[in-house]
Amino acid sequence: AQKITQTQPGMFVQEKEAVTLDCTYDTSDPSYGLFWYKQPSSGEMIFLIYQGSYDQQNATEGRYSLNFQKARKSANLVISASQLGDSAMYFCAMREWNFNKFYFGSGTKLNVKP
Amino acid sequence: DADVTQTPRNRITKTGKRIMLECSQTKGHDRMYWYRQDPGLGLRLIYYSFDVKDINKGEISDGYSVSRQAQAKFSLSLESAIPNQTALYFCATASRDSGTSGSSDTQYFGPGTRLTVL
């Protein structure tokens, strides 16, 4: 079974609007962390936001927030007020603390339209 | 200066050649990883190392070998390169589990090496 599933290969959003990128995960480890990375066309991987499995509140970092629904095993990334510079690939990832493994999803390509 | 560096940044080589990709980090992390990324796809783990004496295969280790020369250095070798190893290669580092978990326990990536095997 896939550890991380991103079902949206590509997304379009109008500039200044909000967009949600979906991510579901599968793990039997009670301790895990969820991460989102941005990969612009230049290729580097940029860490955006983190959510721990025991965190009670959803993580936020500026315009990024993580909609964490533990029972549904989902960790969707919400980008508010999209900017042209947000156009990139976005990867969801998970770290299992007890098994000490990292897993990445296949990514979502976001295009922000002016 | 970047915390995780990779050399070379770009490399074109021929089928059958041996090639080494190098990674250095100044973050003081114990754990280091090598991934490959094919166009339009996510990252796949090649090898990972928890310390100098602990090296483990990832999901796609065939055709690759690694060396952890020091805590800060982790090299990836392609003994006999083939065209389907053409990809973007990333090195990443991570701290030992802090016990509290948090964003500091994320993986930090190098800038990547674009490898083309003709």
- Give the residue on A whose Cα is nearest the Cα of B92: A45
Report pLDDT for A14.
97
Q: Give yes or no for residue B20 having a pLDDT over 70.
A: yes
Q: How confident is the model at residue A96 (pLDDT cuts 50, 70, 90)?
A: confident
| Best of B30, B109, B114 to mutate (most A CBs within 10 Å, chain A) | B109
B41 has a chain A CB within 8 A of its CB: yes
Interchain CB distance below 8 Å, A43 and B42:
no
Report pLDDT for A102.
82
* A91-101 average pLDDT score: 83
Interchain CB distance below 8 Å, B106 and A47:
yes
Write the CA distances from A104 to A87, B10, B14, B53, B88, integer angstroms.
19, 24, 30, 26, 15
Report pLDDT for B98.
52
Q: Give yes or no for residue B106 having a pLDDT over 80.
A: no
B52 has a chain A CB within 8 A of its CB: no
The more confidently predicted of residues B3 and B41 is: B3
B26's CB contacts (< 8 A; 6+ apart) are B1, B3, B4, B72
Report pLDDT for B94.
86
pLDDT in tens, A24-73: 999 998 889 999 999 999 889 999 999 999 888 999 999 999 999 999 99
Residue among A44, A50, A54 whose CB faces B106 most closely: A50
Q: How many residues does chain A have?
A: 114
Residues of B in contact with A38 (CB under 8 A): none
What would the two tokens of residue A12 be? 């379009």
Write the CA distances from A108 to A13, A23, A83, B21, integer angstroms.
13, 10, 16, 28
pLDDT in tens, A3-14: 999 999 999 999
Interchain CB distance below 8 Å, B102 and A50:
yes
pLDDT in tens, B45-104: 999 998 899 999 988 999 999 999 999 999 999 999 999 999 999 999 988 665 455 555
| Angle at alpha carbon of residue B118, lines to B109 and B35, rounded to 5° | 20
Interchain CB distance below 8 Å, B103 and A49:
yes
Residue among B97, B101, B107 whose CB faces A102 most closely: B107
Interchain CB distance below 8 Å, B111 and A43:
yes
C-alpha A46: how far from chain center: 12
Coil/strand/helix, residue B49 = strand
pLDDT in tens, B30-58: 899 999 999 777 899 999 998 899 999 98
